[in-house]
């Protein structure tokens, strides 16, 4: 077949087995078992009742663009104007649009890893060469970025794709680290595409993770991607947005028109309600914090298991000493222990030897699933 192929998802490999196996708890997807905010659901229903089903402004509804500009300006150190906001059909569509705007076939893109596989594959679909900068695993758990290595790799590169807080590791760049990344990108004249979909899911008491929106100038070669999927528990709604450089939105809108022709207006009305629903956001972050604590307790004291609670996102990235085939282990855990987790190899070579567990789940589900996962990990360590 004359069809472009990209590497298949190892997460879906596990999910397909899990779907065919009765009684399996799914902790392999980046999705919570909690419902979307009732305020968003009500707004969508009201918009449908009002006939909001026709074509709308490809830039996004003015109400949503203005609501996001106000939200981001209140959250970050620098104001974000409405004319820099572009609405997209999901966070992934935001990333794909950013890549379409900046990267051409044959150009080189740097991506830190372990990384959500869709991002690198989106660059490969563009015909780009993707070079992975492996995060450095720390002995006590957790990760750090080698900025000297980043500087070297960005020599001649077109773009650096940043994801902080990171899926799957939970690594979260500090403001000083973001300043270093921005300085390197400026010096190397590389675009910075920043995936910040987990920006509100941090556990240090701050309202949000440090962001390039705190430090970048509107004229910088910086595009920030975000989504309603994680922060507002709206994975199936497929609603995201971009913050683009000053003066660039019209060009970006033309790309959105070609790529997916905008977003359903009733979905956007749900987004307006969600942005304004601060209580829903706070409840979900507390829910994730509880799950983070439960998983940490379940993983403690297991021989040859290395884990540090993540600074951000809603995943436990669990290192298993001596684990050389995380995909085979994840399949075995489904069959023998009725738990589906994502194999580390799904996130690139730097993820081998790890397992990703989504802890944005109800306490009853997590406690039951983690008891069975502990059994699987102990059997592996024996």
| Over residues 314-323, mean pLDDT | 96
Is 88:97 a contact under the CB 8 Å cutoff? yes
Name beta bridge partners: 93: none
83 pLDDT above the threshold of 70: yes
CA 126 to chain CA centroid, Å, is 20
* Domain 10-36+279-381, CATH: 3.90.1150.10
- Reading across the β-sheet that carries 342-343, which strands appear in turn? 305-306, 315-320, 354-358, 342-343
Confidence bin at 375 (pLDDT 50/70/90): very high
Return the pLDDT at 131: 98
Q: What DSSP string describes 191-241?
A: EEEEE-TTTT-BSSS-SS---GGGT--TTSSEEEEEESTTTTT-GGG--EE
- Let me know the angle formed at the C-alpha of 120 by 285 and 271, rounded to the nearest 5 degrees: 40
Return the pLDDT at 7: 84
248-306 pLDDT, tens digit each:
999 999 999 999 999 999 999 999 999 999 999 999 999 999 999 999 999 999 999 99
381 pLDDT above the threshold of 90: no
DSSP 167: T
Return the pLDDT at 5: 84
Rounded CA-CA distance 272/267 in Å is 9
User: In CATH, what is the architecture of 38-277?
Assistant: 3-Layer(aba) Sandwich (3.40)
Q: Where are the domains of the chain?
A: 10-36+279-381, 38-277
Q: What is the pTM (predicted TM-score) of this model?
A: 0.97
Query: For residue 25, how many other CB atoms are within 10 A of its CB?
Result: 21
1 pLDDT above the threshold of 70: no
| Residue 333 three-state SS | helix
CA distances from 115 to 36, 326, 360 (A): 26, 15, 19
Burial status of residue 205 (CB atoms within 10 A of its CB: 0-12, 13-18, 19 or more): exposed
150-189 pLDDT, tens digit each:
999 999 999 999 999 999 999 999 999 999 999 999 999 9
Return the pLDDT at 284: 98
218-264 pLDDT, tens digit each:
999 999 999 999 999 999 999 999 999 999 999 999 999 999 999 99
13-63 pLDDT, tens digit each:
999 999 999 999 999 999 999 999 999 999 999 999 999 999 999 999 999
Name beta bridge partners: 110: 131, 160
Return the pLDDT at 380: 85
Return the pLDDT at 101: 98
220: left (phi over 0), alpha (psi -120 to 50) or beta: beta
């Amino acid at each position: 077949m004359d069809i472009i192929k990209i590497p298949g998802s190892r997460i879906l490999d596990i999910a397909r087995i899990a779907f065919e196996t009765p009684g399996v708890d799914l902790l392999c997807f980046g999705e919570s078992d909690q419902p979307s905010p009732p305020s968003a659901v009500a707004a969508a229903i009201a918009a449908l009742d009002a006939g909001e089903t026709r074509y709308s402004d490809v830039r996004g509804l003015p109400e949503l663009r203005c609501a996001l500009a106000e939200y981001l300006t209140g959250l970050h150190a620098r104001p974000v104007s409405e004319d820099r906001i572009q609405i997209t059909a999901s966070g992934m569509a935001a990333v794909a649009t950013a890549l379409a705007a900046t990267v051409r076939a044959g150009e080189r893109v740097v991506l830190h890893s372990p990384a959500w596989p869709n991002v690198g594959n989106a660059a490969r679909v563009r015909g780009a060469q993707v070079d992975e900068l492996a995060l450095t695993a720390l002995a006590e758990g957790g990760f750090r970025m080698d900025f000297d290595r980043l500087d070297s790799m960005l020599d001649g590169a077109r773009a650096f794709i940043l994801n902080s807080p990171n899926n799957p590791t939970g690594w979260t760049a500090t403001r000083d680290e973001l300043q270093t990344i921005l300085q390197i990108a400026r010096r190397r004249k590389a675009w910075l595409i920043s995936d910040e979909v987990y920006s509100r899911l941090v556990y240090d008491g701050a309202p949000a993770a440090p962001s390039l929106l705190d430090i970048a100038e509107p004229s910088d070669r910086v595009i920030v991607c975000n989504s309603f999927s994680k922060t507002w528990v709206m994975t199936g709604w497929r609603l995201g947005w971009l913050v683009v450089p000053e003066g660039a939105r019209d060009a970006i809108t033309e790309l959105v028109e070609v790529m997916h022709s905008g977003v359903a207006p009733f979905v956007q009305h749900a987004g307006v309600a969600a942005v304004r629903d601060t209580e829903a956001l706070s409840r979900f972050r507390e829910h994730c914090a509880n799950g983070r604590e439960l998983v940490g307790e379940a993983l403690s004291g297991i021989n040859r298991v290395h884990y540090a609670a993540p600074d951000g996102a809603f995943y436990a990235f669990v290192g298993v000493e001596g684990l050389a085939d995380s995909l085979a282990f994840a399949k075995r855990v489904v069959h023998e222990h009725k738990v589906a987790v994502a194999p580390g190899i799904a996130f690139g070579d730097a993820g081998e030897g790890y397992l990703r567990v989504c802890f944005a789940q109800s306490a009853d589900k997590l406690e039951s699933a983690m008891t069975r996962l502990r059994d699987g990990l102990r059997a592996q360590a024996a």
